[in-house]
Amino acid sequence: MAGGRRAAGLALGWGCCLLLCCAAAGKLEVSMPAVVEVESGGTARIECNFYIPGNGSYTYINWSYIDRNNRVRLCHIAGSEILEENVDYKGRLSVGEDNTLSISRVTMQDARTFVCQVGAGSHGVGENRTELRVYKVPEAPEIVANPAGISVQSSDIPQIAHCVSKNGFPPPNITWHKNGEQLQPEEKMVKIPATLTRESSGLYTVSSTLFAHVTREDRNSLYHCTVHYWLRGQRHAMESRRINVTVFYPAEHVKLQVMPSSALVKEGDDVKLVCEADGNPAPVFSFYKRGLEDSWQDLSSLADTNSGVLNLHDVKKSSSGLYRCQTLDLDDMRQLEKDVELVVNYIEGVHVKMEPSSPLQEGDSVRLSCDAHSPVALDYQWRDEKGRKVGEGNQLFLSNLTFETSSNFSCKVIAPSVPGLEQSKQVAVAVHGKPRIVAISSPLYVQQDEVVNLTCKAIAFPRPSVHWNVNGTAHEYIENQHIASNLTVRVNHDLLRAGAMCRVSNALGISEKHIQLLVESIRKDQKTPESKGVIIVAIIVCILVVAVLGSVIYFLHKKGKIPCGRAGKQDITKPEARKDKIVVEVKSDKLSEEAGLLQGANGEKRPAADQSEKYIDLRK
Ligand SMILES: *[C@@H]1O[C@H](CO)[C@@H](O)[C@H](O)[C@H]1NC(C)=O
Ligand SMILES: *[C@@H]1O[C@H](CO)[C@@H](O)[C@H](O)[C@H]1NC(C)=O
Ligand SMILES: *[C@@H]1O[C@H](CO)[C@@H](O)[C@H](O)[C@H]1NC(C)=O
Ligand SMILES: *[C@@H]1O[C@H](CO)[C@@H](O)[C@H](O)[C@H]1NC(C)=O
Ligand SMILES: *[C@@H]1O[C@H](CO)[C@@H](O)[C@H](O)[C@H]1NC(C)=O
Ligand SMILES: *[C@@H]1O[C@H](CO)[C@@H](O)[C@H](O)[C@H]1NC(C)=O
Ligand SMILES: *[C@@H]1O[C@H](CO)[C@@H](O)[C@H](O)[C@H]1NC(C)=O
Ligand SMILES: *[C@@H]1O[C@H](CO)[C@@H](O)[C@H](O)[C@H]1NC(C)=O
Ligand SMILES: *[C@@H]1O[C@H](CO)[C@@H](O)[C@H](O)[C@H]1NC(C)=O
Ligand SMILES: *[C@@H]1O[C@H](CO)[C@@H](O)[C@H](O)[C@H]1NC(C)=O
């Protein structure tokens, strides 16, 4: 290039200066670039410019290259004639008008020094040389981590990874980096041996291995290698992918936990003791429970010693205690251990005391006291046999007991601090006494030869038995705490005359009630009442509706008040006015409902007070 510029300068005629210069030198000058670079496979162009003093022309140009201090001629140019001579370069060489030598399909072997020799007769011979450099960008570096993993306790410097970059020219270099920072060889700490291989193609494959000590933090480190190469006088670099390595380190800490949270464990729970160690690989786990006198019971057979989990099913109060997890590192046989206290919450010894404890009678009062043992604070609740809450606190006071209240109560003991921890205890509050007849079908309006049911209902504890003084088919049934008996009989003369007697008895006494049967005077239907039952019911319903309507209309017209008491008394004195057979159940909550029915049957408005007045004797 420089030579070309000089020639141009001469052509432009820097006369004086050049004349002086050439007069001084007075000789042939050949100029060539010192270095030409070309990528392998490409075409190299090597210029050769020359200056011949006195406007003279060259006689010949000899191109040759240097091989171990010897010159090997490539070609000889004389005048316009090009004499190719080198067989090795046959077909790859050409020389241009400007005397530039072109070499195509450059290989590594072409990386050598080329000489251009110019002969110019009297001016003698001049020459210059160019170093042809052939380059090849190496392939991207490939990195492979040590597949076996690396121990932090390794005494030798362990191998971390291996890196290869193939087919580069000139030979590239490899550097190593951890988390982006370059690693330098260090005595006894970091070694980076590299090998350079010349392939048959003349290209170089460079490989490098990183040896370095690791720490447990290096389990998160990322390593990579970088290949550095020259290209047109500049350094270039290519990075490999980043890799991590398996680092083995012993456990330093061990953690033992109760799952779920230990404060809330209760009897019957399934509990896990989870042991964790921060080593890699995980150590072997053993589990122990402290027994008496500081002895330790080995529970490892119940545990998964690889994952470090001890499963305790259906824990008991006795499962409480100090548990120990021990880890053994198989690399250095070092042991670590950790203890945890398991507290199994419980409620036990639930006990209900009844005061007085002697058999209770109707009208008595009783105090129930509930007691239980637990390591945690307890709440008490009382429920009746239907599960309704009837009280809170560890005492329940029941006053004015009746057969009806007699029931099973339960004391529910709850530990509010331990969800789900509760226990219950049932207690029977039995009110003992002689039977009380609560309902009787008297008076009963019947017809001769009719088949009717005589009904008698009573309550008592112990459970009483019901007897009738007349023959018939008796059916007994239990309703809540009551016992009821239906005696199916055919109405005859004796029965109409004497009525029937219901006798209810238990070990504590006897109660009796008489049933009076009255013949209905008004008959709409003479047919057998049994077979026409349905029709009768329908007719009765119609009559009821008409009666109610009638009474409503009557009241609307009159718009006056009828003294209640008088109306009720009138009714009692006129039993023949009735159209219905009546079973009166004397139970306070049903009273008004039945009163309504009776009112309808009578076709007159009668207050409940009147009913109770009439049937009050049944309760006594
Ligand atoms: C070769 O050519 C270069 C570039 O033109 C020049 O600087 C150098 O002096 C020459 N060398 C010789 C021995 O002529
Ligand atoms: C060089 O040659 C050119 C023509 O080729 C001519 O014009 C010129 O005068 C010559 N110079 C010398 C110094 O001979
Ligand atoms: C240049 O080449 C010619 C022809 O091959 C040869 O005769 C001559 O000796 C060569 N010159 C030198 C200096 O080698
Ligand atoms: C490779 O390393 C050698 C020696 O350290 C150095 O001379 C050369 O320039 C390096 N090559 C590259 C491409 O970095
Ligand atoms: C490397 O890291 C990835 C994610 O960061 C992880 O999945 C993989 O297991 C690690 N490999 C090694 C050998 O540690
Ligand atoms: C007990 O019950 C009866 C009937 O229910 C009632 O008449 C009486 O007043 C009650 N006595 C007390 C002390 O509550
Ligand atoms: C009351 O408890 C006893 C046993 O304590 C049981 O046999 C009885 O069936 C219970 N009664 C009710 C109504 O729950
Ligand atoms: C008992 O007889 C009465 C009156 O006939 C009737 O209403 C009741 O349904 C009978 N009870 C049973 C359980 O059959
Ligand atoms: C009488 O009582 C029996 C049994 O309790 C029952 O099957 C029958 O239906 C009752 N008869 C009437 C008319 O209510
Ligand atoms: C009941 O029937 C038995 C025989 O079946 C008889 O001896 C007895 O007199 C009858 N009692 C009444 C009250 O009819």
- Residue 319 belongs to domain with CATH number: 2.60.40.10
Look up the domain containing 232 and give its range. 142-248
Q: Whose CA is nearest to atom 1 of ligand 10?
A: 471
Q: Taking every pair of C-alpha atoms in the chain, what is the biggest distance, in angstroms? A: 180
> What mean pLDDT, rounded, does the chain reach?
82
- How many domains does the chain contain in total? 6
Structure confidence by residue, pLDDT tens digits, 168-219: 988 999 999 999 999 999 999 999 999 999 999 889 999 999 999 999 999 9
Task: Catalogue the E-assigned strands of 105-213.
Answer: 113-119, 125-135, 142-145, 150-151, 159-168, 173-178, 181-183, 190-191, 194-198, 204-212
pLDDT band for 480, please (50, 70, 90 cuts): confident
Q: Are 32 and 100 in contact (CB under 8 A)?
A: no
Q: Are 226 and 242 in contact (CB under 8 A)?
A: no
Q: Please indicate whether residue 486, judged by its CB atom, sits closer than 6 Å to ligand 9.
A: yes
Handedness of CA 150, 152, 153, 155 (dihedral sign): positive
Together in a domain, 448 and 423: no
In the prediction, which pLDDT does 563 show?
A: 43
Determine, yes or no, domain membership for 387. Answer: yes
Q: Please indicate whether residue 223, judged by its CB atom, sits closer than 6 Å to ligand 4.
A: no
Determine, yes or no, domain membership for 535. Answer: no
pLDDT band for 91, please (50, 70, 90 cuts): confident
Together in a domain, 146 and 243: yes
Q: Please indicate whether residue 485, judged by its CB atom, sits closer than 6 Å to ligand 8.
A: no
Determine, yes or no, domain membership for 574. Answer: yes
Q: Are 505 and 435 in contact (CB under 8 A)?
A: yes
Structure confidence by residue, pLDDT tens digits, 125-143: 999 999 999 999 999 999 9
Determine, yes or no, domain membership for 458. Answer: yes
Q: Whose CA is nearest to atom 13 of ligand 4?
A: 229
Contact residues for 79 (Cβ-Cβ < 8 A; gap 6+): none
DSSP state of 189: T
Determine, yes or no, domain membership for 19. Answer: no
Ligand 4 center from residue 104 Cα (angstroms): 29
Last-in-domain residue among 385, 413, 429: 429
Determine, yes or no, domain membership for 393. Answer: yes
Q: Whose CA is nearest to atom 1 of ligand 5?
A: 244
Structure confidence by residue, pLDDT tens digits, 554-590: 666 666 544 443 333 333 333 343 434 444 444 333 3
Ligand 1 center from residue 31 Cα (angstroms): 5
3 state DSSP class of 253 = coil
Percent of the chain with pLDDT over 70: 81
In the prediction, which pLDDT does 108 show?
A: 87
Percent of the chain with pLDDT over 90: 57
pLDDT band for 407, please (50, 70, 90 cuts): confident
3 state DSSP class of 593 = helix
Q: Are 482 and 457 in contact (CB under 8 A)?
A: yes
Q: What one-letter code names the amino acid at 176?
A: W
Determine, yes or no, domain membership for 529. Answer: no
In the prediction, which pLDDT does 266 show?
A: 93
Determine, yes or no, domain membership for 533. Answer: no
Q: Which residue has the higher pLDDT, 424 or 430?
A: 424
Q: Please indicate whether residue 486, judged by its CB atom, sits closer than 6 Å to ligand 8.
A: yes
Together in a domain, 508 and 574: no
